[in-house]
Structures are given as C-alpha cells and as structure tokens.
Amino acid sequence: MAKPLPALVRLHLTGLRVILVFTVVCGLAYPLLITGIAQVAFSRQANGSQLRQNGQVVGSSLLGQTFDLPKKNPNDPKEQARPDPKWFQPRPSAAGAGYDATASGASNLGPNDPGLTQTIHDRRAAVAAFDGVAPGRVPPDALTASGSGLDPDISPAYAYQQVDRVAKARGLDAAKVRQLVEDHVQDRNLGFLGGPRVAVVPLNLALARIG
Amino acid sequence: MDPTLAGALQALALVAALALSHRPLGDYLAHLLTSAKHLRVERGIYRLIGVNGDFDQTWMAYLRSVLAFSAASVLFLYAFQRLQNHLWLSLGFPAVGPATAWNTAASFVTNTNWQSYSGEATMGHLVQMAGLAVQNFLSAAVAIGVVAALIRGFHRNRTDRVGNLWVDLVRVTLRLLLPVSVVFAIVFVAAGMVENLHAAAQVTTLSGGGQSLPGGPVASQEVIKEFGTNGGGFYNANSAHPFENPNPFTNWLEIYLLLVISFSLPRTFGTMVGDRRQGYAIVAVMAVFWVGSASLLTFFEWQHNGTALQAAGAAMEGKEVRFGIAASTLFASSTTLTSTGAVDAAHDSLSPLGGGVTVFDMMLGEIAPGGTGSGLYGMLVLAVVAVFVAGLMVGRTPEYLGKKLGGREMKFASLYILTTPAIVLIGTGVAMTFRGERAAILNSGPHGFSEVLYAFTSAANNNGSAFAGLTVTSTWWNTALGLVMLFGRLLPMVFVLALAGSLARQQPVPATAGTLPTHRPLFVGMLSGVVLIVVGLTYFPALALGPLAEGLHR
C-alpha cells in the first residue's frame, strides 16, 4: 500500500478540492442560472438595452456614441474629428478614439494637470462657438471626459444649449426640438438619487425619426 | 431638488438601510458561525473535500489552512488565465501574460482586485465567471472565517481551538454570499445591467460610425464584487461603466451591498461575546469615520479646487452625469473605507484634497467599516491597542472582554499595525528610487507621487482602486504589487490568528471597578483617537509630499 501523502500536501489538495467544488457552484451553476433567468425574464436589459432603427441595431441606450462628420480621409488616424451639427453632441470621451467600448476608461489626468486645463479652455471656446452661446455658459459636463468614456448622458443644460444649433442644421422648428429634449430629460431616480440627465443616443434616435 | 439636499437624502437612505440590516444580518452571521448543525449539502461538500466538519482547529491549523488555500487558489487562478485560450468563451483572447496573470491571481485571492489589465480586452467570459468571480466569493468567506476565529478567541476560555476554516468558508459561501447574490443579481438585471454570454457585437451607429457592444455575465459578477468587498470590474471602467452600473439606483444599491456585511459584523461580534453593547461601540467608531470621510470628500469635490476643475466649473472630470458629484463621492468614500476598490468615478481626477481623503481612508487600515471580515478584525486589533493605551494611563494590566492583554497579545497587535504601513512606505520608497519605474507615472509634480503612494496603499490594504494614470502593466509593477498584496493580506492574518489563539487559551478575569468599560462613549472616543493618531503619525510625511502638497499649494 502506498504511503499516505505528507500532511502539508494533503492540506493543499483539500484547498484545491474546495476551489473545484466552488468553481462548479459559484463559477458555473450560479452565473448560468442568473443568465438563464435574465434571458427569459429581462432579455432587453440582459442583452444590453439595444436601440433599433428600421430593425437594425444602432447601439445601446446605455452607451454613448460619437456623432461626428465623416472623415475627409478615412485612412488618416491623425485627422481631428469634427462634430456633426445635425446631432446632439455627447461629452468628450477618453475611451479609445472616443466612445470605444473595447477601451472603456477615463483620462486619469489630475486636477492641476496643465494639459488638461488647456484642453478644457480649448473645449470651452470650441463648444461655445459651435453652439453659438457665450463661453461662460457652457456647462461643466460638456468640457470634461467621464469616468467610463462611455457616458450615455449629458446634463439637461447642455442638451438645451444644443437645441438651436440642431434645429437650424436640420431645418426644424426649434420649439419642436426643444419639446423633444424636454421629453427625454430624466430626473434623479426617486427624486434624490444621482443627477438629472438626458440620454444622448435615444434623444438622437427620436430626432432622426422626426426628420 | 437642490443637489445638496438630494445628496444628503441619498446618504440618509443608505444609513437607514444599513441600520435596518444591522441586526438581522449580524445575528444571522452569529448563528451561522456558532451553530453545531450542518446542512445536508454541507455534509456532502465536507465529504467531497475530505474534511471533518465537527472538528475544530487550533489557531496554527486554522492559519495553515488559510495559507494552503491561498497558495492553491493563486496557482489555480494563474493556470486558468494562462490557459484561457484553450477553454470555452475565451472570445478569441490569447493566454494572459505571465506577469499580469500572477498579479491578477494574487489580486483576486487576496480580496484586493487590483486590475493591471483591461477586462474587455484581456479576459474571456469563462475566466471571469469561473475563475475570478469564484475568488470573489471565497476570499470574502476566508476573511469572515478569520474574524470569526478572533471573536471565538474572545468568548472561548481555556481552549486551543478557534474553529474550522473549511466549515466557516463553506457555510458563509453557501448560506450567505450565494443566496444574497442570486437575489440581487436578478434585481440588477431588472434595473438594466447586462447578463449574457455573447461576444462583442459590431453595430453601425446612428451617425454611420462603428461601435462594438460588449457582452458578458456582468450582473452575477457585479453583486459579489460589491457584497464581498472585492471590487474587480468586469470592464476596465469598473462601476463607472454603464453596463456595470446603469443608473443612480444601481449605484446606490452597489454602495449598500459593499457596506452591509462590514457594518453588520459588529453585531455578530456583540452577539457572540454575549454583550451586544460591545458591538455598538465598534460600529459607532466605524460610523464616525465613514460619515467624516464622505462629508469631507463631498465638500472638497463641490469646492473643485485645482486649475483644471476650476476651468471646467465643476469637478466633473472622470465622473458620470447620471451620478453627479454626491453619488460619486459617496461611492468613493465607501469603496476606499472598505477593501472594495470598485470605482464609479476616476479617483485620479478627484480634487487634490478629495483624492487625499481616499488615500487616507485606505491608510486607516480599512476598518471603517472595512472589508468583509478584515474590517472588523482590523478594528478589534486597534481596540486592543486602545485598551492597552488606557491601561498604561492608569497603570494596571489592561483587559478587554475579560481577557488580559499581556506582552504576547500586544506583540501580535503591534506587529499587525506595523506590517501594512511598512509595506506601503517601503514599497513606495523603492518604486520612487527607480527612474524606469517612475516613468510609469502619468501626472507631474506631487500628483505623480500620489499615484505611486496610492498604488502601494491600495495594494497593501487589499483595496484595489487606483489613481489609474499610473501604468502598472510592466513586469516590475505586476510582480511588486502582486507581492505587496499577498504580504498585505496574509501577514496580518497570521497575527490576528495568533492573537485569537492566545486569547482563547486564557481564563477570563472578572471585571472590577478598575476595568475600563469598552461600550461607553468614552471608549468610542478613545478608540477613534487611537485610530487617527496611529495612522496620522505613520503616514503624515508621505501624505505631506503628495495630496497635501498639491492641495495646500496656492
């Protein structure tokens, strides 16, 4: 008969057996159970709250997108993106080249970073000129990148600021566009959780529907 | 509604929810950790793993089990990542590199969940759910086991037995962590979180561009990430990512989940030692620091000092609009005061003193309320120190809950409070001396130093959040921080279990008129003072070079 294993080896094997048991219970059974329930009961949420236009998936109501003009030269990675005046614009993004969901993340630049300070001054001038408002009125969320780089929302102030520019670019009645924004403003959850906001992609989808 | 009022209501709702959970959850845990009965499924598991569930271990055997389990876990998780390309649901990702795999294995086993990788670009679904997330359960359960052993040290007399790790581990996982996870995972999905096994889908966006919509079993992992104070995000942006934290309600619930076990464990402590007032005193100290940190951090963020934040008009860099300032600061305080380290905003871009608060939170040793289990044992060790200091003042041998605190006990307590600061400060010092390693810093000036200090503080205290500007993907950083996390987790556990063994052996001494009552406001104040002084004196020079230098500079 083989000699019993030394106590220390047996102890590690006990540890390994615990891991294997719980890999089955917590690592496979549990997430698969939740996935099953989620897919049956909450399939819209579980699959990423997708938005469709003419049957085609065009994004997720939870993930922001860029709304830029087509590049002049699609093969030039250095070409600056130019915002398309026909769309409500999202916040600046540090995820990849902008709203890249394969590279979520923040700028991670510090509160005193000279580069970030300059970038914010430049953004203020550019956004003010683009939307035709006084630079002092541009809200903070229009000037800063979010934590995820995928922020789906902008502040109601930034949304209203863009109404006239969007209406003009699309040849629509400004009152109609303003009404659309009003319909898309979400208050804090339960009145006190988080911040008031406007989800940009659903707003733009609704905008595309009215012309 | 006024943002200040909304922020206050949000915190008050959280306090109310935590207060309501304190008693039932604390008592349930006490029952779980003392009951002699095993469930049938548990007996089945004991057979499978080959342990006797009715056998209590000495503190040494308990410790050996913790160490062996941690070693096996690191090896298993390392191998899992290295082989992921041969397994299902790898999404086409190659094997994780050796340095990153080592760092990540150490990180998840130690309940740190420091991430030197980007989830959506590195890890397949299988390694996330069956590798990393399993440690989210088990590492939390191990720490609850260790604190249970310490509490048994206080309430047991003249014994060398402090409990059985395998029993504690199996019970906590099966009877607490798993059922709660099932319930809240479904709540999370209903509230908008994703839960699927899809690879990323390529779509054409509204304006004709392209976007890749990621998939993943996120909700099931998100719950235990918070509930076990782990913090490892499914995606790189962690709880700032809309798929991990779609709205302010899920954000609030995540904060609740990451605090609730740690704020309830003092009740478990009070119940197990047979004097619930002892638990209330401990929870009061935790609450003092939590309220203080959350208020200060929120104040600094509303003030938004710093040239960039002033230029923008608010501290919104790195924050999400749906959360705004108050929900982000409440999350940041709670995640750094526990060992969670999940983030719903970029800490690197917090205002100078606001970022300083998050570092200071971790430097407190994560005790207010701290990580699941680790928070309470850290606080109890400091309570031992506080009682000792009080004893010195009146010149008598101190005792806590009837147990004498002699030389042996104080040696273990002192080693405990010295270990983590030593790792943090030596690690930071070493990293700062190397030009190559300094190149990993993103920001200039004192803020750059803060990034390094934050990294070592976070790793040694098993937090896992970061001033993420620091690039930690090199072999040096991965190896060094992996070691720091393991030492920062296991060495304190050695001292806690040794202390437990030493207390359990004693015959309790009866309380006399000279005994310091440890349930009165006087002791709450005394313990809070000891916490502040110990941490303040240890870390002040380092804080002065980083966050204070940046925050007080005009």
Nearest to B306 among A50, A112, A149 (CB): A112
Nearest to B173 among A8, A26, A197 (CB): A26
Cβ distance of A108 and B467 shorter than 8 Å: yes
What's chain B's average pLDDT? 96
Pick the closest to residue B314 from A194, A140, A118, A196 (CA basis).
A140
Tell me which chain A residue has its CA closest to the CA of residue B123: A102
Contact of B191 with chain A, judged by CB distance below 8 Å, is answered with: yes
A50 three-class SS: strand
**How would you classify the pairing of strands A56-60 and A50-53?**
antiparallel
Q: What is the ipTM of this complex?
A: 0.96
- Supply the pLDDT for residue B475: 96
- Supply the pLDDT for residue A1: 52
What's chain A's average pLDDT? 95
A11 membership: H or E segment, kind and range: helix A7-22
Q: What is the mean pLDDT of residues A108-135?
A: 97
Residues of B with CB below 8 A from A155's CB? 321
Domains in chain B, number? 1
Q: What is the mean pLDDT of residues B319-328?
A: 97
Residues in chain A: 211
Q: pLDDT tens digits for B492-536?
A: 999 999 999 999 999 999 988 888 999 999 999 999 999 999 887
Residue B402 has pLDDT above 80, yes or no: yes
* Residue B132 resides in a domain: no
Residue A3 has pLDDT above 90, yes or no: no
Residue B538 has pLDDT above 80, yes or no: yes
- Residues 374-413 of chain B with CB under 8 A from chain A are none
What the block records as the tokens of B170 is: 């199996």
Tell me which chain B residue has its CA closest to the CA of residue A201: B206
- Supply the pLDDT for residue A73: 83
* Residue B88 resides in a domain: no
Q: pLDDT tens digits for B160-210?
A: 999 999 999 999 999 999 999 999 999 999 999 999 999 999 999 999 999
Distance to chain A for B104, nearest Cα, Å: 17
Q: How far apart are CA B455 and CA B429, in angstroms?
A: 12
- Supply the pLDDT for residue B292: 97
Residue A178 has pLDDT above 80, yes or no: yes
* Residue B376 resides in a domain: yes
The model carries a pTM of 0.97
- Supply the pLDDT for residue A79: 83
Tell me which chain B residue has its CA closest to the CA of residue A86: B207
Distance to chain B for A120, nearest Cα, Å: 6
- Supply the pLDDT for residue A74: 78
Tell me which chain A residue has its CA closest to the CA of residue B471: A108
At residue A2 the predicted structure's pLDDT band, cuts being 50, 70 and 90, is low
At residue A4 the predicted structure's pLDDT band, cuts being 50, 70 and 90, is confident
Contact B313, B208 (CB under 8 A): no
Q: What is the mean pLDDT of residues B30-53?
A: 96
Distance to chain A for B544, nearest Cα, Å: 17
Contact of B365 with chain A, judged by CB distance below 8 Å, is answered with: no
Contact B196, A54 (CB under 8 A): no
At residue B375 the predicted structure's pLDDT band, cuts being 50, 70 and 90, is very high
* Residue B413 resides in a domain: yes
Contact of B442 with chain A, judged by CB distance below 8 Å, is answered with: yes
Q: pLDDT tens digits for B231-288?
A: 999 999 999 999 999 999 999 999 999 999 999 999 999 999 999 999 999 999 999 9
At residue A71 the predicted structure's pLDDT band, cuts being 50, 70 and 90, is confident
- Supply the pLDDT for residue B536: 79
Residue in A127, A143, A170, A188 to test binding to B, most B beta-carbons within 10 Å = A188
Residue B58 pairs in a beta bridge with: B161
At residue B397 the predicted structure's pLDDT band, cuts being 50, 70 and 90, is confident
* Residue B176 resides in a domain: no
Pick the closest to residue B520 from B282, B361, B344 (CA basis).
B282
* Residue B383 resides in a domain: yes
Residue A5 has pLDDT above 90, yes or no: no
Residue in B123, B203, B251, B322 to test binding to A, most A beta-carbons within 10 Å = B322
Which residue segment(s) compose the domain that B433 sits in? 372-552
